[in-house]
Amino acid sequence: MLRRFVLAVGALLALPVLADPTAPPSADPLAGYNGSFFLRDPNSWFVLFPKGRLQIDSYNFLNRGDPPNGANGLPVDANSKGDKRPNGTLLVRRARIELQGTMARHFDFQIAAEYASTPAVGSTGTVSDAWVNVNYTPYLQLRVGQFDAPFTLENCTSDKFFDFMERSLAIRAFAVPQNKELGAMLWGYLPNRLAYYSLGFFNGEGQNFKNQDSHYALIGRAFVAPLATLAGDRDWLKEMWLGGSIWYQTAVNQGGRVAPSVSGATQNDLPLLTTQGGFGFFAADYDNGKDPSGAAIRSHLAPSGDTLKWAVEANLPVKQFGARLELVHQTIHLAQYNDTNPTNATLLRSPVFSDAQELSGTGYYVELYGWLLGHRKVIESPGLGLPPRLSTLAPVKEPTWALMVAAKLEHVGFDVVGLPMPNGMVDPAQGHHGIDAVELGVNGWLTKHVRLTANYVVNFIGGFSSDESDAKNMKSNLFYQRAEHELLFRLGIGL
């Protein structure tokens, strides 16, 4: 009688009611592993997924050679400013503690802190991912916070599961150097996963940066998987798709509100573009002669005006093998900010605005891969970034190794035009910037949580067919050879 009375009062007041203590316990575990580690309540209304990643890398440069010659024709001192050679190193590439989960079955979330990097100037912290996803139907979902910008297949692939140690030059170094954006997007699947779409508004300033000019970036991606309805148990047909991405935003005098510098980059400069091993081939801050008083000028290139990017993609798996390719194009209108220190005490910044100043070019990659041991589904599908879900509580099989090999051809080429220089001179950044790369990779996977990787990369700075149109500051950033060889290794753990 007492229990019936409590149930009746609880129903009237809409209060939660404790489970019947006499009921037999559920046979399903409240904590365990089913492809991801989980904690849950008995009804799976609230589920937590402890997450994290640790990536330890080794970079080795096989043709580093002797120190290059300086202006006097003699070799510069090793590790001096004039020594452009990359240094071999061991480093912690990523180290994150993360938590994902689902609240009340319809609100997914992720929070991740990065411990392998420090905040950039003007950054709000070292947060990696921090978002909430409202999921009442797979066809229309809302994600708000900071996450991978929905632009290109590779940018929407977790760094745990790249086929190589880093994203391609066309994506990481050219189209989306910041990777993540703060904003909100609508996204979802059509029935039978015949198509995917995502579209949202973002700050457009990059990871951990507030909006600085009240103008937002419109970013979106979509693809069609025309054979998905015929797939049956051939899940690779569901992942055979063609798609594209779009990015449009306007920037207004973003460099005008930040402190000048005559020694390095400033906030809002275009990012440094680097090879997979971190060797820089384009810097948007550079020495640019002297002013009439003889003071050294440090020039900085920052977005100002319209930015338009578009991309097309193809994901073509066939059982244990496959091909993947993407092509991106972008045009970024620029402002040039010239910093000087005429009195050796006060830094000055003089902006130069012109509709003719822009960076415009194209990048692409073509990749072939194959799983020689194990199954390609040992890791998550590329380009999706779906929130984890507690789909089954069945025990998993004993962990086994899988072996995957890949080869990739990459290209990035762009022109910087319209930069003003007096007396008919040419700005060192003006001209053509290019790089081609050939990569070979081997990945050993012990489930999706342990990864051993080796990459061999040859970067052809200036491209396969460099010529006199190459920009001067690209040439000045090179060490003595245009073909730069990298041997890279990674030991990774990802929960």
The structural domain count of the chain equals 1
Residue 489: pLDDT band by 50, 70, 90 thresholds? Answer: very high
Min mean pLDDT across 281-285, 352-356, 421-425, 455-459 is at: 421-425
Residue 233: what pLDDT? Answer: 85
Residue 85: what pLDDT? Answer: 83
State the average pLDDT over residues 77-81. 82
Residue 242: what pLDDT? Answer: 98
**DSSP strand E in 190-275: where?**
195-202, 217-224, 241-251, 273-274
Confirm if 178 and 206 have CB atoms less than 8 A apart. yes
> What is the rounded average pLDDT for all residues in the chain?
89
Which amino acid type is present at position 427?
D
Tell me if 24 is assigned to some domain: no
Q: Taking 50 as the threshold, does the pLDDT of residue 6 lie above it?
A: no
**Domain range for residue 73?**
36-494
State the average pLDDT over residues 294-318. 95
Cα-Cα-Cα-Cα dihedral sign, residues 143, 144, 147, 150 = positive
Q: Taking 50 as the threshold, does the pLDDT of residue 492 lie above it?
A: yes
CA atoms within 13 A of residue 159's CA, in its CB half-sphere: 23
Q: Taking 90 as the threshold, does the pLDDT of residue 167 lie above it?
A: yes
Q: Taking 80 as the threshold, does the pLDDT of residue 3 lie above it?
A: no
pLDDT digits (tens, 9 = 90+) for 111-138: 999 998 877 777 777 899 999 999 999 9
Q: Give the C-alpha separation, 28 to 240, whole Å.
A: 36
Tell me if 31 is assigned to some domain: no
Q: Taking 50 as the threshold, does the pLDDT of residue 21 lie above it?
A: no
- Classified as helix, coil or strand, 472 is helix
Looking up tokens 């392998």 gives 116
Q: What is the pTM of this model?
A: 0.91
Min mean pLDDT across 18-22, 54-58, 302-306, 403-407 is at: 18-22
Q: Taking 60 as the threshold, does the pLDDT of residue 23 lie above it?
A: no
Q: Residue 108's domain is classified under what CATH number? A: 2.40.160.10
Tell me if 349 is assigned to some domain: yes
* Helix (H), strand (E) at residue 300: strand 296-318
Q: Give the C-alpha separation, 20 to 14, whole Å.
A: 17
If one compares 387 and 326, the residue with the highest pLDDT of the two is 326
> What are all long-range contacts of 216-219, with beta carbons under 8 Å and residues at least 24 apart?
216/183, 216/249, 217/181, 217/183, 217/247, 217/248, 217/249, 217/307, 218/246, 218/247, 218/248, 218/249, 219/149, 219/150, 219/151, 219/181, 219/183, 219/185, 219/245, 219/246, 219/247
| Token output for 336 | 């040039």
Q: Taking 70 as the threshold, does the pLDDT of residue 353 lie above it?
A: yes
Residue 69: pLDDT band by 50, 70, 90 thresholds? Answer: confident
Residue 467: pLDDT band by 50, 70, 90 thresholds? Answer: low
Residue 422: what pLDDT? Answer: 66
Tell me if 8 is assigned to some domain: no
pLDDT digits (tens, 9 = 90+) for 28-39: 889 998 888 999
Residue 12: pLDDT band by 50, 70, 90 thresholds? Answer: very low
Tell me if 20 is assigned to some domain: no
Q: Give the C-alpha separation, 240 to 131, whole Å.
A: 28
Residue 396: pLDDT band by 50, 70, 90 thresholds? Answer: confident
Tell me if 25 is assigned to some domain: no
Confirm if 269 and 301 have CB atoms less than 8 A apart. yes
State the average pLDDT over residues 175-202. 96
The total of other beta-carbon atoms located within 10 Å of residue 443's CB is: 24
Tell me if 269 is assigned to some domain: yes
State the average pLDDT over residues 178-182. 95
Q: Taking 50 as the threshold, does the pLDDT of residue 27 lie above it?
A: yes
If one compares 245 and 233, the residue with the highest pLDDT of the two is 245
Tell me if 10 is assigned to some domain: no
Confirm if 335 and 351 have CB atoms less than 8 A apart. yes
If one compares 342 and 103, the residue with the highest pLDDT of the two is 103
